[in-house]
Amino acid sequence: MVIALAVGGTQIKGVAMAADGSLLYSGHRRTQADRGPDAVLETVLDYAGELSRHYWASAAGIAMPGLVGEATGTSVFAAQLGWRQVPVRRWLAEELEMPVAFGHEVRAGGLAEARLGAGRSCRSFLFVAVGNGVTASMVVDGRPTSDAGGFAGELGHLVIRPGGDPCSCGGAGCLETVASTAAIARRYRLATGEENLTAKEVRSRAGTGDPIAAGIWREAIEALADGLSSAISLVGPERIVVGGALAKAGRSYFDPLPAELSKRLAFREAPRIVPSGLGQQAAVLGAALLAQQLHLARQTAPRPRRWTSLSSGPGRPAAR
């Protein structure tokens, strides 16, 4: 049995997964990031502790947003949580007294889609998560590719509108400034003066004849097609799996996107675009799979020798 968490700006998702992959628990706690980074960390540790005790877990996994140091298990920078240089894996391992697997949410999500979701039976696919940000992971032979510094997959910061709106990364005209849920809501607010409308509501209005909403929605799809066509040209995936909050937009998203992509990929056929099979659960299920992998690796690792030299060790063969 393993337990896993995925920490997001709105929710901390949790699961308990049995060895056969079945889920014994799936739930969440509210992040309430406005309480400050320490309070969020405390909620993460408490939630993981409760799950591990209740389900007798032997390993845990955690998926984080933002910039991560996957080798060191560190949350380098998570803007939504206010975390900087938090050694998540070490602190969680100390709290739970068990091995902890750590990964970026989009690579964990890609792993889960490969094993359990829309990437099954597909040798290579690009998993794209479109929500408040836009991130991507390339999955080859069931394994998300990683990089040296934990910065891979920041598709949202590809500049697709040079000189465009300022971005949270310090640049301008990034994909995220046009295609993320936050950007869609912000751009509609700026165009109409209407406050507190979500991207989902902008989409609904686009479908009922609101020309401003329809324009902003179309621009978001076009921007995503610009970003994806660059990624496709570079890595050549067989399939695009779209997850994150906007994957739920259904036909209004998935109908226009292939045509927009085809327009941009003159030299090759556009890969098939499919919605995520796991939706918002992809990252936490991926964290559970990472925990399973860690547990299995520890079980199959060679046991340390019980003696260090032949002259002093027990069971030494008799001299002939």
Q: Quick check: 113 and 125 in contact, CB under 8 A?
A: yes
* Burial class of residue 258 in the structure, from the number of CB atoms within 10 Å of its CB (0-12 exposed, 13-18 middle, 19+ buried): middle
What is the pairing mode between strands 272-275 and 239-243? parallel
DSSP classification of residue 248 = G
**Smallest distance, Zn ion to C-beta of residue 150, A:** 16
Q: Quick check: 36 and 78 in contact, CB under 8 A?
A: no
Which of residues 62 and 167 has its CB atom nearest to Zn ion in the complex?
A: 167
Q: Quick check: 190 and 168 in contact, CB under 8 A?
A: no
**Smallest distance, Zn ion to C-beta of residue 233, A:** 20
**Smallest distance, Zn ion to C-beta of residue 244, A:** 17
Which of residues 13 and 157 has its CB atom nearest to Zn ion in the complex?
A: 157
**Smallest distance, Zn ion to C-beta of residue 227, A:** 11
**Smallest distance, Zn ion to C-beta of residue 195, A:** 24
What is the helix, strand, coil percentage profile of the chain, to 5?
40, 25, 35
**Smallest distance, Zn ion to C-beta of residue 172, A:** 8
Which of residues 167 and 242 has its CB atom nearest to Zn ion in the complex?
A: 167
* Residue labelled with tokens 């020309």: 211
**Smallest distance, Zn ion to C-beta of residue 174, A:** 3
Which of residues 12 and 155 has its CB atom nearest to Zn ion in the complex?
A: 155
**Smallest distance, Zn ion to C-beta of residue 166, A:** 9
Which of residues 45 and 169 has its CB atom nearest to Zn ion in the complex?
A: 169
Helix (H) or strand (E) holding 145: none
Which of residues 104 and 157 has its CB atom nearest to Zn ion in the complex?
A: 157
In the chain, the amino acid numbered 224 is: L
Provide CB contacts within 8 A for 212, sequence distance 6+: 188, 191, 192
For residue 165, what are the CA distances in angstroms to 40, 149, 185, 207, 231? 31, 27, 14, 26, 22
Strands, DSSP E only, in the chain? 2-7, 11-17, 23-30, 59-64, 67-69, 74-78, 83-86, 100-104, 124-130, 134-140, 143-144, 239-243, 272-275
Q: Nearest CA to 283 among 35, 45, 55, 66?
A: 66
Which of residues 73 and 153 has its CB atom nearest to Zn ion in the complex?
A: 153
In the complex, which residues of this chain contact Zn ion (CB under 5 A)?
Answer: 157, 167, 169, 171, 174
Which of residues 79 and 169 has its CB atom nearest to Zn ion in the complex?
A: 169
